[in-house]
Amino acid sequence: MSYQTVVAVSIFLISYFFLITERLNRMLVALFGATFMLIFGVFRDPAIVYKEYVDFNTIFLLIGMMIFVAVMKKSGIFEYFGALALKLSKGSMVKLYLYMVSVVALASSILDNVTTILVFVPITLAIADAVGLDPFPLVLGEIFSSNIGGALTLIGDPPNIMIGSAAGLSFMDFIVNLGPAIVLIFIATHTMIIFLLRKKLSVDLTDAKGIELTKAVTNRKNFRISIVLLVITTFLFLFQHELHLESSTIALLMAALSLTIMDRKNVEATLEEVEWSTILFFIGLFVVVGGLEETGVLENFAHLLIKLSRGSYHRTMLFITNASAVISAFIDNIPYTATMIPVVESMKKINPETFSNLNPLWWSLSLGACLGGNGTPIGASANIIGLAVLKKYYGKEISFVKFMAYGMLVVLVSMIISSVYLMVRY
């Protein structure tokens, strides 16, 4: 094991110790981890760290959508949709929970998970403010739903886009092959969460039925403009591949448009609404995980999976699914998926008789990489953003351990269903 590998693994483990124990602000942990990776020479060429390992498409997507949401928030749009959701629930907190998590899952299957969370968590917090309820169950369920829904389609989650591109799989291939598993996982996950949080979800919302929707709107003109811009944003995200637009380009465009049309006199004040500590946390985390990729730790682990499978197709399938879920709970699933794609492709060359059809292995990788993100607060971008918005606008903080207690249960249920599904179907 080389010096760089030892240093990279040590910094990664120490960083996660501080993230889990929360003895230091998570942004500082990530920045210290990133700078130590650079100081101790983990990267061959420090000049390319930010080109190869920091995903600026994600960073600019976050900044753009945070600005866009901050501008729209002032019109009362989130309070309006919150009041609408309360009316539809007819006094039942469980119905409200099911409405919200279902819409989030559907939205995440066609939109970026971060975008979905940035739109729906403020609506949830508006609901919580209106009736004085604890938003924790709703936000938790929405985070899980965003990751589950994202796993359903080719465009729902970055790992699926990467897998689809490498394997030549279509939009319908993902729905047909992963759809049954995702539906089962969605039902099982939310049945479990409703049971575990049944006391918090037993709140009577009968009084909320009388809320007037029009009173939620604070600026009618900007409310109408917000609706139009939201529709345009959704359209652009839906057809971004046909339009050859990056997610970050759309987000920055809509941020600039919304500021210019609705809030150009308060640009500086609106920029203060951006969760800059979260942005810096993401950058630091990208570099820390990049250290593992640079030193070959992820690649070595991928090859270890092949050895452990001993040439068995079903064993390989199970190893890829479950190992991917565990790893993706702690590191960004994008570099992990990028590492695993050539490994899966090489299996056909290593053993063409056993691995003549790689498609089931692609579905294994997709389910593990996408669903494993539910395991910890930093397992997926949606988790980090959802919890950051909850803390910023509601002052409620969910600890690493508390989230992980629910998240790992969700991952366990997801992997049991995924493993059985893959074994039975393929």
Q: What is the pLDDT along the chain (426 residues), one digit of tens a residue?
A: 788 999 999 998 898 888 888 788 888 998 999 999 999 999 988 888 888 888 788 788 888 888 988 898 888 887 777 777 777 777 788 988 998 899 899 888 877 788 888 888 888 888 888 777 888 999 999 999 999 998 998 877 878 877 887 788 887 888 999 999 999 999 999 999 999 999 888 877 766 555 565 666 778 888 899 889 988 988 887 787 788 888 788 889 999 999 999 988 888 888 888 888 888 988 888 898 888 888 888 777 767 777 777 767 888 899 899 989 998 898 877 767 877 787 787 777 767 777 778 889 999 999 999 999 999 998 888 898 899 888 887 888 888 899 999 999 999 999 999 999 999 988
* Domain membership flag for residue 117: yes
**Cα distances (angstroms) measured from residue 105 to each of 110, 155, 210, 218, 268:** 9, 13, 28, 29, 34
Q: Is 92 in a helix, a strand, or coil?
A: strand
DSSP-derived 3-state class of residue 372:
helix
Which domain, by its residues, includes 338?
3-52+77-216+275-425
Question: Nearest Cα to 155, choosing from 170, 168, 134?
Answer: 170
Q: Residue 343 has which token pair?
A: 């490994």
Q: Which is nearest to 134 in space by CA: 201, 192, 185, 60?
A: 201
Query: Distance (Å, rounded) from C-alpha 1 to C-alpha 10?
Result: 13
Does a structural domain hold residue 354? yes
Res 113: pLDDT: 81
Handedness of CA 228, 230, 231, 235 (dihedral sign): positive
Number of folded domains that form the chain: 1
C-alpha span between 273 and 388 (Å, rounded): 12
Residue listed under structure tokens 């539906």: 183
pLDDT for res 211:
57
Please report whether residue 244 resides in a domain: no
Could you tell me which of 302, 363, 362 has the C-alpha nearest to residue 331?
302
Q: Which of the 8 DSSP states describes residue 301? A: H
CB 77 within 8 A of CB 223: yes
Per the DSSP assignment, residues forming a β-bridge with 92 are 204
**65 lies in some domain:** no
Cα 89 versus chain centre, distance? 26
Indicate the pTM of the whole model.
Answer: 0.78
- Is residue 59 in some structural domain? no
| Best CA proximity match to 152, nearest among 415, 337, 363 | 363
Is 351 a domain residue?
Answer: yes
In a 10 Å sphere around its CB, with 0-12 CB exposed, 13-18 middle and 19+ buried, how is residue 191 labelled? Answer: exposed
Burial class (CB in 10 A: 0-12, 13-18, 19+), 251: buried
Position 302 scores a pLDDT of 67
Q: Residue written as tokens 């942005």?
A: 279
Residue 57 lies in a domain: no
> Would residue 256 count as lying in a domain?
no
Contact present, 114 and 334 (Cβ < 8 Å): no
